[in-house]
């Protein structure tokens, strides 16, 4: 009898609403990984990967980061790269090890996106957001690339999830977790700076619409306490990491160079128009599905307000970025997939209500638009997995066509201890010849 009761309780726990979400999300991850796994280490390298790997290699040789080795990314990202290189350096699998670390952050970003979808609407919204993100070739390309953007975005998404948990539950441990996670994200790369404004906005929303129900608690005092707690934790996490490095050199290397680049590149529109057009070219149906998802949330005005402000602040932060590269625009992908997932979940809810003759959540004209966009997205994804897609360019060495002879030349006519001066550090790192 006791044994049957234990089995019954175990079965109930395994198939509860929360467990079903976790099991199906795990299934999405496994299927996606099996599909993408052959390309983890066989895609052409992004232009910045050799820079990051070379800097990490030189630090592992004993040079001081930022003071002796210039590095434009945050110190936490440097540690993410250099430790796998050190641990697996003698096995020949060092690059694969670094890519697996990057991929772990990419998948964690996907999980955070799914959890936010679940918190805002339903299990289905979370599953849809995860699936939409996983099938995008650009998401997988950058999820395994040795670049700071992926880990910074992942930590930023977890900070956003913790902030939404605080908004809903009011437990300050979630606010503290959000501050720490955002600090870690900014210590990886100053890409998620928008959240420094957006998360305090959530604190303000909670004060206005939740804490107002308790008139005995002064709202200004609660707002000040929560805001100061959040900012203190963000700054504290940053300083705790920055304190291990030569701070003047770090600021000069990581931030001084970016300021100089802004001055050198001139006007934003002239330099970045092509990147915007290309991002649209590779993500158009997903972006339109996201717009559909945002519009479908208008009945839940607080969600509409929350998601709209999030999107607006990301766009503003990208507008400040100059020069703007395609890896920076990946900051939009998790939120865009989340919005599209919310829209698809609302569409499915409407279709399910047909047989019950209950009030539909959307006008039928809008539902028809959602069906058309979903169909277009499916066709677009099938067409995306072509060799001509810039995110699917295969290479066993990481080099583009015509670059292999250069590496062969370097390895034949230079010694491992020689320094190579080049403007393409992918060539230098793959040939294991390093800059002075």
Does residue 202 lie within any of the structural domains?
A: yes
The answer to whether residues 150 and 197 belong to one domain is: yes
> Would you say residue 363 has pLDDT above 80?
no
pLDDT averaged over the chain? 83
Is the pLDDT score of 124 beyond 60? yes
Measure the N-to-C terminal CA separation of the chain; round to a whole number of Å.
74
Query: Percent of the chain having pLDDT more than 70?
Result: 86
Paired residues of 419 in beta bridges? 434
In this prediction, residue 217 carries a pLDDT of 61
Calpha distance 229→174 (Å, rounded): 11
Query: Under 8 Å CB-to-CB from 295, ≥6 apart: which residues?
Result: 343, 366
What CA–CA distance (Å, rounded) separates 241 from 247? 10
| Tens of pLDDT, residues 220-234 | 777 788 889 999 999
Percent of residues, the chain, with pLDDT higher than 90: 29
Tell whether 245 and 345 lie within a shared domain: yes
Answer yes or no: is pLDDT of 354 > 70: no
Number of domains in the chain: 2
Q: Which residue has the higher pLDDT, 226 or 128?
A: 128
pLDDT at 268: 62
Cα gap 380→137, rounded to integer Å: 11
Residue 168 has pLDDT above 60, yes or no: yes
> 292 and 316, same structural domain?
yes
Contact in structure between 196 and 318 (CB atoms under 8 Å): no
Answer for the pair 429, 57: CB distance below 8 angstroms, yes or no.
yes
Q: Which residues, at least 6 apart from 294, have a Cβ–Cβ distance to it below 8 Å?
A: 304, 307, 308, 311, 339, 342, 343
Are 413 and 381 in a shared domain? no
Higher pLDDT, 402 or 112: 112
Output the six-digit token pair for 276: 């915007």
Q: Rounded mean pLDDT of 195-211?
A: 81
**Which range has highest mean pLDDT (90-104, 328-342, 408-422)?**
328-342
For residue 15, is it within any domain? no
Backbone conformation region of residue 238, classed left if phi is above 0, alpha if psi is from -120 to 50, else beta? alpha
Residue 304 lies in a domain: yes
Please state the rounded mean pLDDT for residues 96-102: 90
265 compared with 335, residue with greater pLDDT: 335
Q: Are residues 189 and 248 in the same domain?
A: yes
| pLDDT at residue number 113 | 95
Tally the C-alpha atoms within 13 A of residue 351's C-alpha that lie toward its C-beta.
10
Residue in the block written with tokens 């726990």: 13
Residue that wins the pLDDT comparison between 436 and 279? 279
What digits encode the pLDDT tens for the residues 252-311?
Answer: 888 877 777 776 666 666 667 788 888 888 999 999 999 988 887 766 777 778 888 899
Q: Is 94 within a domain?
A: yes
Together in a domain, 267 and 313? yes
- Domain extent at residue 248: 50-394
| 435 falls within a domain | yes
Residue 6 has pLDDT above 80, yes or no: no
Poorest-pLDDT segment among 172-176, 206-210, 216-220, 386-390: 216-220
Residue 169 placed within a domain: yes
What pTM was computed for the model?
0.89
pLDDT tens track for 23-73 = 888 998 888 888 888 888 888 888 788 888 988 988 988 889 998 888 889
- Given a cut of 90, whether residue 176 has pLDDT beyond it is yes
374 and 429 share a domain?
A: no
pLDDT of residue 420: 79
pLDDT band for position 2 (50/70/90)?
A: very low
Same domain, 272 and 389: yes
Q: Which of 228, 279, 257 is nearest to 55 (CA)?
A: 257
Asked whether residue 336 falls in the same domain as residue 390, the answer is yes
- Asked if the structure places residue 33 within a domain, the reply is no
Same domain assignment for residues 326 and 423: no
Same domain, 269 and 410: no
> Can you tell me the distance from the alpha carbon of 54 to that of 63, in angstroms, rounded to the nearest whole number?
12
| pLDDT at position 187 | 94
Q: What is the band of 10 on the pLDDT scale with cuts at 50, 70, 90? A: very low
Q: How far is CA 71 from the centre of its chain?
A: 21
Looking at the fold, whether 389 and 412 belong to one and the same domain comes out as: no
Res 158: pLDDT: 96
């Amino acid at each position: 009898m006791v044994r049957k009761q234990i089995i019954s309780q175990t079965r109930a726990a395994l198939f509860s609403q929360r467990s079903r979400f976790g099991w199906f999300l795990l299934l999405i991850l496994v299927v996606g990984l099996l599909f993408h796994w052959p390309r983890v280490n066989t895609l052409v390298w992004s232009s910045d990967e050799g820079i990051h790997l070379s800097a990490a290699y030189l630090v592992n040789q004993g040079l001081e980061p930022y003071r002796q080795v210039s590095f434009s990314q945050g110190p936490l990202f440097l540690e993410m790269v250099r430790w796998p290189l050190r641990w697996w350096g003698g096995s020949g699998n060092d690059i694969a090890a670094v890519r697996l670390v990057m991929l772990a952050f990419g998948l964690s970003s996907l999980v955070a996106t799914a959890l936010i979808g679940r918190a805002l609407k339903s299990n289905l919204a979370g599953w849809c957001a995860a699936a939409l993100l996983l099938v995008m070739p650009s998401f997988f390309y950058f999820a395994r690339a040795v670049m700071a953007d992926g880990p910074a975005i992942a930590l930023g998404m977890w900070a956003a999830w913790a902030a939404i948990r605080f908004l809903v539950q009011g437990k300050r441990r979630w606010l503290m977790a959000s501050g720490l996670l955002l600090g870690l994200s900014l210590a990886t790369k100053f890409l998620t700076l928008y959240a420094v404004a957006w998360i305090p906005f959530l604190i303000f929303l909670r004060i206005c619409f939740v804490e107002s129900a308790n008139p005995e608690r002064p709202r200004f005092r609660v707002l000040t306490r929560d805001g100061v707690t959040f900012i203190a934790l963000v700054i504290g996490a940053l300083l705790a990491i920055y304190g291990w490095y030569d701070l003047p050199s770090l600021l000069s290397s990581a931030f001084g160079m970016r300021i100089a680049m802004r001055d050198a590149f001139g006007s934003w529109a002239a330099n970045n128009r092509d990147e915007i057009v290309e991002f649209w070219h590779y993500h158009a149906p997903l972006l339109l599905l996201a717009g559909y998802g945002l519009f479908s949330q208008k009945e839940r005005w607080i969600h509409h307000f929350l998601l709209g402000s999030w999107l607006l602040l990301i766009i503003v932060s990208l507008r400040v970025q100059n020069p703007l590269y395609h890896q920076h625009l990946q900051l939009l992908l998790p939120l865009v997939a989340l919005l599209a997932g919310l829209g698809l979940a609302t569409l499915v809810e409407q279709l399910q209500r047909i047989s019950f003759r209950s009030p539909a959540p959307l006008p039928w004209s809008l539902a028809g638009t959602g069906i058309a966009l979903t169909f277009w997205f499916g066709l677009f994804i099938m067409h995306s997995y072509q060799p001509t897609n810039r995110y699917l360019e295969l290479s066993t060495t990481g080099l583009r066509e015509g670059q292999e002879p250069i590496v062969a030349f370097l390895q034949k006519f230079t010694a491992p201890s020689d320094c190579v001066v080049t403007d393409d550090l992918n060539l230098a790192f793959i040939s294991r010849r390093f800059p002075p």
